[in-house]
Structure 1
């Protein structure tokens, strides 16, 4: 409370968030405006995008049975080396698929001919992304909402299983909703309540929306998740991604977040995870592949991307992105 400058005035913090500038280190991330019916939302952050050649994508492998079907999420394990978890979206059983970085599948000890780990009690309505938290959970996001009409958006928290397991179950399921949505389905002028891109910072789950009414994406955070009840998401900020966000991942410290659209890769970097995501350094590169919907950090220097249409796994070097600011 003294005059050491460590306290950030509320209006100053709100202003910095509004214009997309980083807050002082240690300042909490706050929503500028409540994302609720009738509230004035801040304009999305936007940057100029140069014309450039597509980034090189090195084919790694054809995905094995299981995730080759209709993959829509990938994340690196924080407990096991050389382990990446994948899943398919609607139409598959509630399974997660362990693979090596080279695309080869792990096989179950008890059921070697059946790919993946069955999540008992879960339902795959429209699984769209997967992430991991600091408590050792896989979090599968059943938040696909093409019709903008779902009232059952849910996150499954699953203790990360051994890659040679055949089945497990979830620890809890957490229902979520967007506070700004009042109509089900949403009107076509506000058809922006789908989500295919999810990541964690510590134990905090973040969702990036896939818009059909404009080219932006909104960033939401799940605060104080409570199981077996519907939790309002907290709106944080928005960014003009010039397309549809279909996958995301973050480094464990939350300082780097990658987002993939159907046409491009975006990298957001900040000095502290408490700072606004879209107020820091931004890099970009277009790519060419039919239908990439899954991305994750393979290590500090590269990404893995999975193409749903071709069933192909690719590697991309982060050094190939263009720094925009």
Structure 2
């Protein structure tokens, strides 16, 4: 009788786990639109130009190139940034003029003192297969040259956006123990050496770093929505004031099964596109989400000011 009870319990647990995994797989792959060219199997940043064509970059160790994709995911054009190196390219964004910014600021070991952002002209205006970049350098004032302690390893970076005349950088948390906080730093958007200014922070989760550390960011074209990407979710921030991104409404969109999701952007104000890297035959795709159709978990509503009556 005991053996039969154990068998039934084991079977039920197996079925529940299988159903959960199946649901998670469906949640992700129901959003798949295209498979990305295998040359971009380490895709780490994406952006649409003003003609709504998709561009992408590869992670560190690859060529310092931008790739324009066809609608079927194949490569239509490659542009070499002649004066750039791809030490650890981790994200891509653009300003309102269509200038692209390429973030060479991956810092896995928290030991890179000076990090680089390459600013190039609007890719629509690049008629050849090469271009030159303005070079933006920055450092964190908190990194004083001494080894970073495990509980302060929050100087890795894989996400940024452009707003006004500044770039906003969202750290990828590698603290031990993991505290789930992404810090927001600000630097200028032009060629110079900057000390990054810490302006805010936000906690995702404290369960497991690989589930909720931040790997990409994007602002909607109307600059009214910010999204942050992790391995399982998109964090959506709305109704914020200026660059106080975390001051408004916060919600979360479940993306299903864990894959190496490394890049996110907006196609329009209502459509999000994200990609994952290919690993052992899994991933390597682009996925589309309509915000007005997505199931959102409300994390926090914007505080309402109460009038004080005399």
The alignment's TM-score, normalised by the length of structure 1, stands at 0.74
Unpaired runs of at least 5, structure 1: 1-52, 108-115
Q: Report the CA distance between 1:279 and its aligned residue.
A: 1.0
Q: Answer yes or no: is 1:178 the counterpart of 2:166.
A: no
In structure 1, distance between residues paired with 2:71 and 2:161: 20
2:247 to 279, 295, 299: 279
Greater helix share, structure number: 2
- Residues 211-236 of structure 1 show CA distances to partners (whole Å, capped at 9, x for unaligned) of 11121101111137443xx3111111
1:233 aligns with 196
Q: Answer yes or no: is 1:98 the counterpart of 2:68.
A: yes
In structure 2, distance between residues paired with 1:262 and 1:286: 10
Matches within 5 A, 1:124-135: 124-135=86-97
In structure 2, distance between residues paired with 1:154 and 1:164: 22
* Structure 2 CA distance for partners of 1:283 and 1:316, relative to 1, 3 Å: same
2:100–2:119 CA contact under 8 A, matched in 1: yes
2:100 aligns with 138
1:147–1:185 CA contact under 8 A, matched in 2: no
1:134–1:203 CA contact under 8 A, matched in 2: no
1:260 to 190, 215, 229: 229
> Considering only aligned residues, what root-mean-square deviation do their CA atoms show, in Å?
2.1
2:113–2:140 CA contact under 8 A, matched in 1: no
Matches within 5 A, 1:63-82: 63-67=36-40, 69-77=41-49, 79-80=50-51, 82=52
Unpaired runs of at least 5, structure 2: 1-22, 206-211, 302-310
* Structure 2 CA distance for partners of 1:184 and 1:256, relative to 1, 3 Å: farther
In structure 1, distance between residues paired with 2:237 and 2:106: 23
Rg comparison, structure with higher value: 2
Give the aligned length. 259
2:58 aligns with 88
Q: Answer yes or no: is 1:251 the counterpart of 2:220.
A: yes
Q: Secondary structure at the match of 1:66?
A: helix
Q: Answer yes or no: is 1:61 the counterpart of 2:71.
A: no
* Structure 2 CA distance for partners of 1:185 and 1:103, relative to 1, 3 Å: farther
1:202–1:252 CA contact under 8 A, matched in 2: no
* Structure 2 CA distance for partners of 1:275 and 1:210, relative to 1, 3 Å: closer
* Structure 2 CA distance for partners of 1:186 and 1:101, relative to 1, 3 Å: farther
- Residues 55-91 of structure 1 show CA distances to partners (whole Å, capped at 9, x for unaligned) of 5541111102432x200111121x22x3121100112
Q: Report the CA distance between 1:275 and its aligned residue.
A: 5.1
- Residues 260-317 of structure 1 show CA distances to partners (whole Å, capped at 9, x for unaligned) of 1112110011254x15111101110222241111011122222111111221111122
2:35–2:285 CA contact under 8 A, matched in 1: yes
1:259–1:265 CA contact under 8 A, matched in 2: yes
Q: Answer yes or no: is 1:196 the counterpart of 2:158.
A: yes
Q: Secondary structure at the match of 1:298?
A: strand
In structure 1, distance between residues paired with 2:123 and 2:270: 27
In structure 1, distance between residues paired with 2:136 and 2:101: 10
In structure 2, distance between residues paired with 1:252 and 1:134: 8
The alignment's TM-score, normalised by the length of structure 2, stands at 0.77
1:156 aligns with 118
